[in-house]
Structures are given as structure tokens and as C-alpha cells.
Chain A
Amino acid sequence: MRRIILVLSLVACGKGGGDKAAGGARDAVIDAWKAEKLTVSALTPATVAFGKDCQGGTVEGIDVLLCNFATPAEAKAAAEQGYTWVGSATGTSEVHGAALVVLADRRKVDPSGRTINRLMKLAPK
């Protein structure tokens, strides 16, 4: 019985750690933005062709797409396709750890690009 509990505990811990690792890259980015008192909207699941675990929302009025990948290499492989999500706006698609961060200024709230630049600089590598 003890052995079963121990195994279940390990599985649970392992799973929890895995989830944290998976959510970690995206969460780290969001936490970094929130730590600077930036306005981050609620993020909702987003469906895109280049990522399975993506969420979208806005930060300081700029559209953001945050996708988690298993590894930084996978995120890097998807970075180019991130520009398809940017569309006809000023935007960028960068890899930060195992997360792909895609920003698009569709409402033209950041004509100088200072906010986009700040967001990308704040996002942990």
C-alpha cells in the first residue's frame, strides 16, 4: 500500500513538474510583464497551425499570442510561422525559452514600437 502511494506521489509530482515546465515558459513571460505593472488581458486558448498549446490576448493594447512548446528548438522552428499570425500589422515573433511570443499592433497603439520592444526585452530568454 505504501509502495502504491509512493508511486502515485511520484507520478503526481512528475506530472505536476511537467505541467509547470510546459506552462513555465509562457507563465514566465506573463509574470515578467505583470511584474512591470503592464496591463495583461485574460488569455484564452487560440488555434493556430504552428502550435498546439497557444493562448491569445492583449498586453498594453497589443495583440499577443503565446505558444508553449516542448523544447526551445521546437519553438524556434515555429517562429517563422508566427509572422502569419501578425498579418498586415507591425509585429514580431520571437522565441523565449520554450515559448513563442508573437506580438501584433493591429490597433496601432504603438506607432514607435517602444512597447513592443519593451515587451520583448522583458520576456525572459
Chain B
Amino acid sequence: MGMRRRALAVFTVLTLTLLGVFAAPAIAGGGKQVRYVGIHPIPKPEGGGICYIEGPHVHIYDADKIQYRDHRGANYFVGDPVAYGYDGKRYAYKGHHPIHVNVVVGDNDPDDEYCYISGPHYHYFAPPEGPEFKVVGDAYFYVGEPPRAYIDARPAMMKINAVYQPLVYERPVVTVDAPVGWIGARAEFVGPGAGVVVDAPRAGVIVAPPAAGVTVEAHVPAPSIHVDVGIGVPGVIVHERAPAVIVRERPVIIEERVKVKHDNGWHRGRH
């Protein structure tokens, strides 16, 4: 009996210790302050939701390296806040684009960072007016010239898509033709290991990754793109109409099953 009680006590202590270790919130070492600037999600162990402080501020929890960029020593969130419950004013974007952080947070330290979310998504800010963005169908498309820094960081930062893919939330619905020059349809910015591959003209391509929570349907009659986004139905479907460019989404991080349907030459006419 005594042995059993002792064993039970040891088991209880061990269990509580383990719970204490794994259930602990993401507190920065020793309650250390962590700098933030701008709106950002709050980690679930800290209560979840959104922190709406727009200016510089501190918390006692860390930020991850995929959804945040350093802005003069502070963590700046480059993800989609709507995915975490943000209920304020929002702006729809499609594909990758720069974020002029100093403009968003209102300081004088020029800092261009990049959002690598491939599909339609939201931010709580609109880009500054200028030629690098075009607004089509209430969505912002980046049509500027991305610098080397964008391309170099791309393989690592594309991981953000793996973060958002399983999140179920109201993504923007973009049903418009993408403007000419949109980065999402430009082959020169697609390198090895990147998330999008542009092939030579071919027809009848269906790409259907086992994505959760969102459906993206992109019809690509060259040179335009038609994108439908819904909630709750998995899969990405890219239909091509000859003579069109096939945009085959192939995220590096997200595992996809690619089904390619050939039309056996129908698009060239039957001989």
C-alpha cells in the first residue's frame, strides 16, 4: 500500500511537472520584454486573438520568424490578421507583394519587407498609391519589380503558406482578371525551389493539392487570370485555355498531389 501511494505520488508529480513544461505560455526568457510594432496575433497560450496596438509596444512573449520581420528591433507582423480574428478594416491582396513597413507604422525608417502569401489574403493596410500596385476587383496586385532581396528570401519565407493553409477563415474572394505584369504570372521571378512554376503552353491542367479550408479556382486565358476563392472546400484548380500560360502552383512546403490531365492534342485541333 505504501509503495503504491509512493508510486502514485511520483506519477502525480511527474505529470504535473510535464504539464507545467508543455502548457506554459510562450514567455520570453525570464519575462523578458519583446518588442512589437503594429497589429499582430496573440499566441493562444497568451489568450489568442489580435493585439490592436498599432504603435511600438512590448509583450512578454516571442514572435515567430516566419510571420514576423524585424523593423528596427521590433517584430512586425506580415501575415493575414483576419486568420486570427482581426475584425477591423481590411484590404484584399493577391499573391506576393512588398510591404513598406515605415509607411504602415508611420515612422521615418525606410524598411521594405515582403509578404509571401501566395493566394488571396488580407492585410490591415492598403499599399501607398503608386505604380507598383494595381487594384482590380477591390484586390491589390503587385506589378512592380521585386528586388534581389525578395527572390533570395523567397525559399525560406514561402513557409508562411504552410502556416495559413490549414487555417479556416474568410479569405477574400477575387474573381477578376489579374493585371498585366502581376508577379504571380511572371516567370522571371520564379526560380528553383520557388512556389510557382510557369510551364510552356499546354492544356487541361488540373492542380489539386489536398488543401484545407479554401478553394482557389484560377482560369488562365492568356494573359488574364480568373480566381475564385471559397471556404471549406479543399483544392486548387487551374484551368487553362490554349494558347495560354499554365500556372501550376507547386508550394515547396505544402505537399501536393499533382494531377495532370492531357487533352491528347485536342487543343491543337484533331488531325
* A88 and B52 in contact, given A83-B33, A111-B42, A111-B47 (Cβ under 8 angstroms): no
Q: Is B186 an interface residue (CB 8 A)?
A: no
Q: Is B138 an interface residue (CB 8 A)?
A: no
Interface residues on A, range: 10 to 19
Question: A: which residues have CB within 8 A of B?
Answer: 83, 86, 88-94, 111-114, 116-117, 120-121
Using a CB-CB cutoff of 8 Å, which residues 184-226 of chain B contact chain A?
Answer: none
Interface-facing stretch out of B54-62, B113-121, B140-148: B54-62
A92 touches B56 (CB 8 A): yes
B88 to chain A, nearest CB (A): 10
Using a CB-CB cutoff of 8 Å, which residues 31-88 of chain B contact chain A?
Answer: 31, 33, 42, 47, 49-60
Say whether chain A's binding surface is mostly helix, strand, loop, or mixed. Answer: mixed
The complex places the Cα of A91 from the Cα of B54 at a distance, in Å, of: 12
B57 touches A90 (CB 8 A): yes
Which of B51, B53, B55, B58 is in CB contact (< 8 Å) with A86? B58
* A92 and B53 in contact, given A83-B58, A86-B33, A111-B47 (Cβ under 8 angstroms): yes
* A88 and B53 in contact, given A83-B33, A111-B42, A111-B47 (Cβ under 8 angstroms): no
A120 touches B33 (CB 8 A): no
B49 touches A112 (CB 8 A): yes
Which of A83, A93, A117 is in CB contact (< 8 Å) with B52? A117
Contacts of A120 in B (CB 8 A): 53-55
Which of A83, A89, A92 is in CB contact (< 8 Å) with B55? A92
